[in-house]
Amino acid sequence: MTQIRKSDIAKIKELDLLTYFKNYGPDELIRNGRNESYYLRHHDSLKLSNGMWYWWSRGIGGKTALDYLIKVEGFTFKDAAIYLKDLIQNHPPTKHYPSRKPNLPFRLPERNDSEYKVFDYLVNERCIDPNLVKELIKNGKLYEGKFTHDAIFVGFDEDHIPRFACRRSTVTNHKQDCHGSNKEYSFNISKSDNEVLHVFESVIDLLSFISIAMMYDIDYSSASYLSLSGISGNDQRISIALMSYLDRHPYINHIVLHLDNDPAGRASSSSIIQALKNRYDIKDKPPQEGKDVNDYLKILKKF
């Protein structure tokens, strides 16, 4: 009978899951965006990020390969320990250290001297509530880019350091994330202890939803709001913006999806519900009319 010593167990527990797959199963890893985070090919709701892993569809996670083999692959503790002991002895792994930094340097676009064009665009073309726009400008979440006069929406980390920005042209349909942006900190309006999270494809839709609430004198401060900064119709995995947000906000237990009324939006909503339904109370509430929430706001305003 194979014996496992305490020293063997200690070495086994040092093997994190990313190092395990980098050494023994690299084809299983699917990189997600520019940051050092991954999904697994055969468990596409299992995410590896910042040295940890989390299986969203089952609501379980951990750090080590030992945890993974027991909780995900169904090994007994003894079988998993023996397997990893032999693997480490016969093929010593090279430690892989995850990087928390984007590959590209992040720098906010230069700010214009005024926000006149952005204010005019959001209020008069997009029907966003003017008081909401003023509040975003005041707290640094929105400003007007110099030269281009784009609307720049900013996402912050836990220390209120800008980590993400996306730009929306005020004269064309152009929109994109700024270079070096960390999508884990996509634009959001949040309070740390809120239990309800509303999720949108774009910042404009997020602001449109809050504007609708303000139209009807509904207090929106008891919930939090997250923009995914776009979705891909060909990618059925969960957005890193949503997964990372939920990692950082453990109080969330209700999620309301307001993605677009198009094939990509409907498919993405279905994927999110399938992956998270065992952990969260999750509802799908696309706009009642129009393609997206901003369309619906315009309809209500009879714009």
Question: d(Cα 175, Cα 166) in Å, to the nearest integer?
Answer: 7
Q: What angle do CA 105, 41, 243 make, to 5 degrees?
A: 50
Which of 18, 4, 17 is CA-nearest to residue 66?
Answer: 17
Question: Mean pLDDT over residues 209-223, rounded?
Answer: 96
Contact, 177 vs 151, CB < 8 A? no
Q: Read off the pLDDT of residues 110-119 as tens digits, 9 standing for 90 and up.
A: 999 999 999 9
pLDDT, mean over the chain: 89
In angstroms, the CA 31 to CA 41 distance is 10
Domain end position, chosen among 90, 107, 131: 90
Domain identity same for 202 and 127: yes
What six digits make up the tokens of 103? 């590959």
Bigger pLDDT: 235 vs 272: 272
Note whether 127 and 206 are within 8 A (CB). no
Contacts of 118 (CB under 8 A, 6+ apart): 133, 142, 143, 144, 149, 150, 151, 170
Query: Does 249 share its domain with 168?
Result: yes
Q: Is the pLDDT of residue 14 over 50?
A: yes
**Residue 104 identity (one-letter amino acid):** L
Express each pLDDT in 266-289 by its tens digit.
989 998 998 888 889 999 999 999
Same domain, 184 and 284: yes
Per the domain annotation, does 202 fall within a domain? yes
Examine the domain organization and report whether 183 and 295 are in the same domain: yes
Q: Measured between alpha carbons, how far is 77 from 80 in angstroms, rounded to an integer?
A: 5
> Average pLDDT for residues 195-223, to the nearest whole number?
97
| 70 shares its domain with 143 | no
- Assign residue 81 the CATH number of its domain: 3.90.580.10
pLDDT band at 170 (very low <50, low <70, confident <90, very high): very high
Q: Is residue 53 located within the same domain as residue 126? A: no
> pLDDT higher for 143 or 237?
143
> Could you tell me the strand order of the sheet in which 162-168 lies?
142-144, 151-156, 162-168, 175-177
| Helix ranges (DSSP H) in the chain | 6-13, 17-24, 65-71, 77-90, 116-120, 130-138, 203-215, 240-248, 263-276, 293-301
pTM listed for this prediction: 0.73
How many domains are contained in the chain?
2
The enclosing H or E element of 143 equals: strand 142-144
Q: Are residues 279 and 135 in the same domain?
A: yes
Domain membership flag for residue 219:
yes
In a domain, 111, yes or no: no
Residue 137, domain extent: 116-301
Considering the domain architecture, whether residues 286 and 223 belong to the same structural domain is answered as yes
What tens digit of pLDDT does each residue of 52-108 get? 888 877 778 888 999 999 999 999 999 999 999 999 999 999 887 665 554 568 999
HSE, side-chain direction, 13 A CA sphere, residue 209: 29
Do the domain assignments include residue 101?
Answer: no
Q: How confident is the model at residue 1 (pLDDT cuts 50, 70, 90)?
A: very low
Residue 182 in domain: yes
3-state SS, residue 203? helix
Judgement on whether residues 156 and 217 belong to the same structural domain of the protein: yes
Whole-number Å distance between alpha carbons of 205 and 212:
10
Same domain, 152 and 207: yes
Q: What proportion of the chain, given as a percentage, has pLDDT over 90?
A: 66
Q: Are 210 and 189 in contact (CB under 8 A)?
A: yes
Do 208 and 294 fall within a single domain? yes
Residues 146 and 210 placed together within one structural domain of the fold: yes
218-228: average pLDDT: 96
What CATH number is associated with residue 239? 3.40.1360.10
